[in-house]
């Protein structure tokens, strides 16, 4: 179990990269490049067959990385990523079964569920979870949605993900209920495939330097 709280995990960097590992041999070097650039919180998705092994390797070999799992959609996967060493798990949505699994495993892994509606948000609160992902952020209203949710749910904090760019990120970061943003732009497929780690580190440094819009 991570000693960090979910909010501390998300606040460790301005951006949480959403990472799909296509070649397991790139996982550790990719993680090193991101951490070197000032992006320590890494969401390794289960979208490819290498997700669990990538979590294991990065957790074991990359000092300073805060390793989590993404695209966790059921209790079985939640247990698998916890066993692999993930410190947190992020889901694209939330339902009662996943909420119950998260509550059962609260002592071994942090759950940061994705929500798109006030109802899902209230389900999370009922199960003691107040740090969430808004997904897919741009599709469900983006900044306007977050501003609307802040009224009745001022104590809830978010990592909006989905359609966010380096250009739009500062406007999200300026909102009082946003801790960070999630995005895929830090790990371009061509750069990873070509093992262009300097480019990855450069993108990470730029992301780490993002400031809230004034």
Point out the residues that are catalytic. Answer: 43, 133
Instruction: Supply the DSSP symbol for 156.
Output: -
DSSP β-bridge partners for residue 131: 157
Question: Cα separation of 167 and 182, whole Å?
Answer: 13
* Beta-carbon contacts of residue 41 (< 8 Å; ≥ 6 apart): 9, 10, 12, 13, 16, 66, 68, 180
Nearest CA to 10 among 110, 102, 136, 137?
Answer: 110
Residue with tokens 């289960």: 46
DSSP β-bridge partners for residue 110: 88
Q: Where are the alpha helices (DSSP H) in the chain?
A: 6-11, 27-36, 51-61, 75-84, 96-104, 118-126, 142-150, 169-173, 189-193, 197-208
């Amino acid at each position: 179990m991570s000693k960090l709280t979910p909010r501390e995990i998300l606040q460790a960097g301005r951006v949480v990269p959403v990472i799909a590992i296509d070649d397991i041999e790139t996982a550790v070097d990719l993680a090193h490049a991101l951490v070197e650039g000032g992006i320590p919180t890494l969401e390794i998705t289960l979208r490819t067959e290498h997700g669990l092994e990538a979590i294991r390797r990065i957790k074991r070999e990359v000092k300073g990385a805060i390793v989590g799992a993404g695209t966790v959609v059921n209790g079985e996967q939640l247990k698998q990523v916890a066993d692999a060493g993930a410190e947190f798990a992020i889901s694209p949505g939330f339902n009662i079964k996943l909420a119950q699994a998260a509550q059962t495993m609260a002592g071994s892994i942090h759950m940061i569920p994705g929500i798109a509606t006030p109802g899902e948000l209230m389900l999370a609160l009922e199960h003691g979870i107040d740090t969430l992902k808004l997904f897919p952020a741009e599709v469900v209203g983006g900044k306007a949605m977050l501003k609307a949710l802040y009224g009745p749910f001022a104590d809830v904090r978010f990592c909006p993900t989905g359609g966010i760019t380096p250009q739009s990120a500062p406007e999200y970061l300026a909102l009082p209920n946003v801790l960070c943003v999630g995005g895929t732009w830090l790990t371009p497929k061509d750069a990873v495939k070509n093992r262009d780690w300097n480019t990855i580190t450069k993108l990470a440094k730029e992301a780490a330097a993002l400031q809230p819009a004034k």
